Chains A and B, each alone.
Chain A
Amino acid sequence: MNSTKKLLFSKRNISAKRCIIILMLMLTSVVYGQTDTVRIGKHDPMTAEKLYNEGISLFSKEEYPAAMQKFSEAIYNRSDFYQAFYNRGIVKDIMKDYNGAIEDYNRALILKPRDPQTLLARGKAWLALNNLESAKGDFSRALEVDKKMHLAYYYRGVVNFMTGKYDDAILDFSETINLKPDHAYAYNDRGSCKLKLGDLDAAASDYLQAVVMDPTMFFSYNNLGTVRKEQGKYEEAAEYFSTAIRIRNDYAEAYNNRGVVRIFSEKFEDAIKDFNKAIELNPDMISAYNNRGNAKYKLNDFKGAIEDYNLVITKEPENGSAYLNRGISKEMMRNTKGAEEDWRKAVSLGVKEAEEFLKK
C-alpha cells in the first residue's frame, strides 16, 4: 500500500514537473519565438526516442501542435533522427504548413535518400502548394523505388488531371485500381478524366462504380449529375444532385448545379431557391450569383438579373461570362448601348460567344 502511495506520489510529481516544463517551454517559446534553442531540462540518453513516441501518441489524439513540439525535441536530441523529421513534416502538412513540411521532408531525405514514403509525402505537400511539376517528380521517384505504391500512382494521376493530361491520368488511376481494386477515389477521378474527354457514358460508369465502393461520396453523385446534365437528362441529373445533398446537406455546389439543371427544365423559381441556398451556404460562390441572374433573366426579371451579375463583377471583375450575361439582360431592357459595352468587355476577357452578339 505504501509503495503504491509512493508510486502515485512520485507519478504526481512527475506530472507536476512535466507541467512546469511544458509551461516553461511555452513561456520561452513566447519570449524567444524560436524552437531550436528553447529546450531546457536535464538530458536523458533515451530522450529522443521517448519524445518521438510521445509525439506519435499525441498525433493519434490529433493534438498536432503538441505532437510537433515532441518531434522537434526529439530532433534536438538526435539530429539524425530521420523518422522524427518525417513525422514532423506530416504534422506540419496536416497543419497546412506545407513549406515547413517540405523542409522537414528534405532533411529526412538527406538522412534517408529515396525513401518512397517521404517522397510521397513531399509530393503531396508540393501538390498542396500547386507546384505540380515537383509533385509529379516526387511521385514518379517514389514509384521507381516501390512500383506497388498505389497512392503514388493515384496522386500522380491527380497531377496529370490537373495539368490536363487526362489520358496519362487515366493510366495512373487504372494502375491504382489494379493495385487496390476498391479504391473509390481512383474510380471517381478516372470518371472525371473521361468526363473531360467527353466520354460521358464511360464517365458515368466510373462514377457509379465509385459510389458502389463508397456510397458516402456525395461529390461523385454531384459529378454524375453533371454527366447527366451534359447528356441533356435534366431530371436524372437533378436526382443525382439531390442525392448528393441528402448525403451532405451543406453541399453548396450540388445546390448550385441542381439550380442549373432546373433552369434547363424551365423550373426557374425552384432554380432560384437552389441558388439562394448555395449562396447561404457559401456566400463566396460566384457561380451561384451568376446562375441566379440567369434564372431571373429567364423569368424576365432583367433588373434582378443585372443586380446579380453586378455582384459577380464586383467580386470578380475579370469574369467575362458575367459581362456577357449582363449584356443580354441589358438588351432586353432596351439598353442596346450598355449591352454592346458589356459584350465588348466580355470579348476582351476571352468570351468568344460575345463576338457573335456584336455582329448582329
Chain B
Amino acid sequence: MKTKINIQIKSLMIVVLTILSINVYSQSVEFHRDYFPSDRAGLKEALQDLKDGDKLFLMGPAMYTDALVFYSRANTFNPNNAMLNYKIGICYLNSVNHPKSIEYFEKAVRLNVPQIDVYYYLGLAYQFNLDFEKAVENYNYYRRSLTPPELINNRERIDKRLSECRNATELVKKPVRVFIDNMGNTINSVYDDYSPILSYQGNMLYFTTRRPIDNKAKRDKNDHKFFENIFVSQKLGNRWMPATELEGSINTKNSHDATAGISFDGQTLFVYKGDKGGHIYESFLKNNKWSKPKKLPKTINTDFHQTSVALTRDGKTMYFVSNRTGSIGGKDIWMTTLDEKGRWAFPVNMGATINTEHDEESIFLAPDGKTMYFSSRGHNSMGGFDIFKTTFEHGRWTDPVNLGFPINSPNDDLFFTMDATGEIGFFSSVRPDGFGGADIYMVTFLGPEKPVIHKTENHYIASIIRPVKERLIGDAVEIVTTPMTVIKGKITDEKTDDPLFATLELYDNETEALLASFTSNKQTGAYLISLPGGKNYMIAVKSDDYLFHSENINVAQSDVSREIINNIKLKKVEVGQSIVLNNIFFDTGAATLRPESYAELGVLYALLLNNPSLKIEISGHTDNVGSAAANLRLSEERARAVVAYLIERGVNRDRLTYKGYGFSKPIASNETAQGRQMNRRTEFQILDK
C-alpha cells in the first residue's frame, strides 16, 4: 500500500544524488567564505543546517518536512543559492503545501540551477496548481533541453504529463457538482491517512493511517514512514468521533496492516499486510470483534503485490488488484469467481477496457452491484491516480469515466467509497487544505445542476418601441367668413355678487341638441361664448345650489358679427325665489308650446328631477296689449301648458301649481317693444323645498 503514496521517490532520489555532487553554479551565491567573509559563524551554522537537511532529504519524501526546517534556516542566511532553492522546491512539491514550491523552483531557474529537471518539477508544480498552460510550457522546455539519450529515457514520462495536462484542461472546464470536505482532525492527522472503508450501516469508517500508534512505533525502512495501521471512527448523529486504533488482532507493530476492502454485508474486512510483497487477508466480524486475519488463497495472493479487494453482493465474484504476471502494465484489476466447491478460480485480467499500461488501484463496488469505482494513472487521468467509474452493461464493463474535477486533482486521488444512498462518498487525496500527507475527504454529490432562470427583454410589438410615423393631424381648412355673435360677461351670486363657477350649456332650440358645454372661470366668473349665425340658441347656466338661468339668443344667418356683454346673476335655491324662463315659446295669441321650448323645459324637468322635494309655481305673464281678461286667460293657459308638459314627463302634479297673472306683474315698461317683449314671459317660483 505504501508504494501508492511514494511513487516518485525513486526518481527523486536519483535526482537528489546528482544534485549533491554539484557545487558550482553561475549567479548562485554559494555557501562559501568568499561570499560571507564577515559572518563566518553564520556561514558555519548555515552549512550545518544544509548538512542536516541533506541527510533528511536523502531519506525520502517522508522526511522532507523535517528537512525543510534546516533548509529554511540555511535559506534565511543565504536566499540566493540555486541548489538550496531547488531542494526546498522539491520538499514543498511533495507536501500538501505544494503551491509554495513554485516560487522556489522559479528562483532556482533564475539563479541558473544546472538541474535541467527543474523544469520538469516546475511543470509538475504548475500542474498541481491547476496552471496547465505553464505546466505544458515547462514540460516542453524540459523536453527541448534534454540530450537525445536523456530524451529516450524521459520521453514517456514527459508525454504522460503533457497528456495529463490536456485531460486536466478539459476536466477543469466542466467541474462536477460536488462539495469536497476534509474529514477534519478527528479522522486525519499530519501523517498519511487513506483508504477509507465504510461499514454497511454507514456508521463506522475504517481507514489506514501512518501515524505512530505509540512511542515505540516503528518506521518502514523503505520510506521512513511509520508502518500502516487500521483506525476506525464512529459516526454519532452527524459527527464523526475521534478515530482510534482498531481493536483486536488485525494491527501489528512491525508491518503494514491496511484496509483493503469490505464485503457488502459488512461482516468480512479485507486487510492488506505487507508480508512478502503484500498480500490480502480476510477478517470476520464476530461478536463485534474482528477475527484474526486469514490469508486469502494462493490463487489470489501470489509472490507479487496484491492490494485492494471488492466482493460482489452474492460473494461469488472477487475483484482485486495485483501486479502479477499477465498484467497489462504495473498493477491491474483481476477477477476471480468462486466455483461449486467454494474455491476461487484462476483469476482473469479485467482486460484493456479497464486496465492500462499504468497502475490501477483501489476498487470499490457500488451498492447497486454493477458500478465499479477504481483509481488509475492511465485513461484520461489529470495527474497521478484519478478515480474512475465503469458499469457492467450488456455483459461487459463500459469504458471508464473520469469522476471529474474537483473529485480528481493533478495529485493522487484514490480509495473511493460511498454510502448506501450514493449521495456521499469518501476518498483520499493530497491537497493544500490537508493536515499533512494524504488525507481522507468526503464528497457530497449535488446531482444535476439546478437551472437558474434567465430573463430576456424583447420588443415584440414594433409600434411600442418605435411609434408608427403617420400623419394623423387633420388638414387645414379653407377660411370662410362666418358672422359670429360673441356673448361674454360674468356669472355672479345675485345677492353677494361673488363670482360663480358655473356650467354653460349651449342648446339648439330647434333640435334640442346640446351643442357644447362650457364653464365659467372659477376665480372671476367670466365666460365667453361664440355663436355662429343661423340658429336659435338657448344658454342654460347652472351652478350647484343655485337656480338655473336661461338665455335665449337668436342669431340670424345674415347677422353681422357682434359682441354682447351679458352679466348673469344666479339665485340660490330658496323658497320664494323666482326666475324667468326665457326660452319658453308659444304661438302668437295661443297657449300651444312651440318645439323650441323643449330644450328649456328639459332643463326645468332636470331641476325637478334632481330636487325631488321642490314644489314650484309656474306663472304666465303678458304685456298690456289687449283686454285684461283675455290676457289673464291667455297667461293662465300658457302656465297650465307648461305644467301639463312637466306632468306628462313624469313630474308629480302635487309639486306643481300654475297661475296666470295677465299684465298685472310687468318687469319692464310696456311703452317700448323691448319692454313688452320682456313682460311676455313664463316664470317659475319655488313654493317649498
A residues neighboring B (CB under 8 Å): 31-32, 34, 36-39, 43-50, 52-53, 56, 59-60, 76-80, 83, 86-87, 90, 93, 117, 121, 151, 154-155, 158, 161-162, 184-185, 188-189, 192, 195-196, 210, 217, 219-220, 222-223, 226, 229, 252-253, 256-257, 260, 263, 285-287, 290-291, 293-294, 297, 321, 324-325, 328, 331, 334, 351, 353, 357, 360
Contacts and interface: CB of A to CB of B under 8 A. Distances in A.
B545 interface: no
A59 B473 contact: yes
Nearest to A40: B528
B22 interface: no
B530 A79 contact: yes
Contact of B474 (A31, A86, A185, A252): A86
A93 B468 CA distance: 13
B523 A53 contact: no
A291 B523 CA distance: 56
Given A53-B479, A83-B474, A217 B462 contact: yes
A46 B480 CA distance: 7
Interface residues of B, number: 54
Contact of B456 (A43, A154, A260): A260
Contacts of A37: 518-521, 524, 526-528
Interface string B2-35: 0000000000000000000000000000000000
Tell me the dominant secondary structure on chain A's binding face: helix
29 contacts: A31-B523, A37-B518, A37-B519, A37-B527, A39-B528, A43-B563, A47-B484, A53-B476, A53-B479, A78-B484, A79-B506, A80-B532, A117-B472, A121-B472, A151-B468, A161-B460, A189-B461, A189-B462, A219-B458, A223-B459, A229-B456, A253-B457, A256-B455, A257-B458, A285-B457, A287-B456, A291-B455, A328-B450, A328-B452
B450 A257 contact: no
Contacts of B475: 56, 83
Contacts of B474: 56, 83, 86-87, 90, 117
Interface string B508-533: 00000001101111111011111010
Contacts of A285: 457
Contact of A219 (B455, B456, B462): B462
Contacts of B454: 260, 263, 290-291, 294
A44 B561 CA distance: 8
Given A294-B454, A297-B452, A220 B473 contact: no
B468 A77 contact: no
Nearest to A53: B476
B460 A334 contact: no
Contact of B457 (A53, A287, A351): A287
B453 interface: yes
B149 interface: no
A297 B453 CA distance: 12
A192 B464 CA distance: 13
Top 4 closest pairs, chain A to chain B, by CB: A192-B460, A287-B455, A79-B516, A253-B457
B287 interface: no
Contacts of B530: 43, 47-48, 76-79
A321 B458 contact: no
Contacts of B452: 293-294, 297, 324-325, 328
Given A32-B524, A38-B521, A49-B479, A324 B453 contact: yes
A353 B451 contact: yes
Contacts of B648: none
Interface in B434-493: 446-447, 450-466, 468, 470, 472-484, 486
Contacts of B455: 256, 260, 286-287, 290-291, 321
Given A56-B476, A87-B474, A334-B179, A325 B461 contact: no
Nearest to A196: B460
Contacts of B477: 49, 52-53, 83
B538 to A, nearest CB: 14
Nearest to B520: A37
A180 to B, nearest CB: 11
A176 B453 CA distance: 36
Count chain B CB atoms within 10 A of each CB in A77, A334, A353 and give the residue with the most.
A77
Contacts of A76: 528, 530
A287 B484 CA distance: 60
Given A43-B561, A53-B476, A222-B458, 5 more contacts: A36-B521, A37-B519, A53-B479, A151-B468, A219-B458
A158 B456 contact: no
A154 B463 contact: yes
Contact of A158 (B447, B458, B461, B524): B461
A95 to B, nearest CB: 13
B502 to A, nearest CB: 11
A29 to B, nearest CB: 11
Given A32-B521, A83-B477, A185-B468, A257 B484 contact: no
Nearest to B522: A34
Given A321-B455, A328-B450, A331-B450, A161 B473 contact: no
Contacts of A56: 473-476
A324 B453 CA distance: 8
B421 to A, nearest CB: 12
A286 B566 CA distance: 61
Contacts of A60: 473
Contacts of A263: 454
Given A86-B474, A217-B462, A324-B453, A50 B484 contact: no
A253 B451 CA distance: 22
Contacts of B446: 331
B45 to A, nearest CB: 47
A277 to B, nearest CB: 13
Q: Which of A45, A52, A83, A293 has the most CB of B within 10 A?
A: A45
Contacts of B520: 37
Given A53-B479, A328-B452, A219 B516 contact: no
Contacts of A52: 476-477
A325 B453 contact: yes
A334 B459 CA distance: 39
Contacts of A210: 462
A87 B475 CA distance: 9
B296 to A, nearest CB: 42
A226 B458 contact: yes
B37 to A, nearest CB: 55
A43 B515 contact: no
Contacts of A80: 515-516, 532
B457 A45 contact: no
Interface in B519-565: 519-524, 526-530, 532, 561, 563
B479 A50 contact: yes
A324 B452 CA distance: 7
Contact of B481 (A39, A45, A59, A77): A45
A321 B472 CA distance: 42
Nearest to A38: B521
A34 B519 contact: yes
B521 A43 contact: no
A79 B459 contact: no
A15 B301 CA distance: 118
A353 B450 CA distance: 9
Contact of B483 (A39, A45, A196, A353): A45
B493 to A, nearest CB: 17
Nearest to A324: B453
B482 A46 contact: yes
A325 to B, nearest CB: 5
Contacts of B459: 219, 222-223, 253
